[in-house]
Structure 1
Amino acid sequence: MSEKRKYRQFTPEQKTEVVLAGLRGDRSVRDVCREYEISETLYYSWRDKLLEGGKAALASSNARTPEHVEVVELKKKVAALERSLGRKTYELEIAGALSRDWT
């Protein structure tokens, strides 16, 4: 029978602490990894994710991410549908008024 391996779970705060400890430069990355008992590969993976998140957060507001483009397109579509609904509502009100006057 094989035992199921149990992995440790790190919070985002713990991951950030580990990465910052390695980035400070007062100790080597190898020493930081030994202290926290993680592999260097895992450390570099966390570091890359942290730096990518930082880049995204510091990107100019004019940067057009795919999500931003999608939100803008959806807002345009909602506005067009609202205008269309408004026109149809107005047409129904006119038709109702005309039918009341006709009878």
Structure 2
Amino acid sequence: MARKVKCKNTECKHHCKNDYCDTTVNINSGGRCESFEKNIVYYFHLVWEALADKNFIDMVEIIRNPEIKIGLFMSWSASIWDLLKWSGEPAVW
């Protein structure tokens, strides 16, 4: 019998409104969800954590955590998209 599982991990691809998971949840013996998949919020969170105490991200930090590169690209893309939207110019991708 399938049942809905409450999940508060907003960084998961399967997270839905009202804190529910939209996939079959697999929990391992340690109690961790094996169905977790990263979504855009995960990468934005990495960038904001890296910028918590300073206003730059250096190459040493990127080498330590290569996923920050993905977050930086997504943040940059979202910023450009937002600028184009507000400028009234059509976005050409």
TM-score (norm 1): 0.33
Of Structure 1 and Structure 2, the greater helix share is in 1
Higher Cα radius of gyration: 1
Of Structure 1 and Structure 2, the greater strand share is in 2
TM-score (norm 2): 0.35
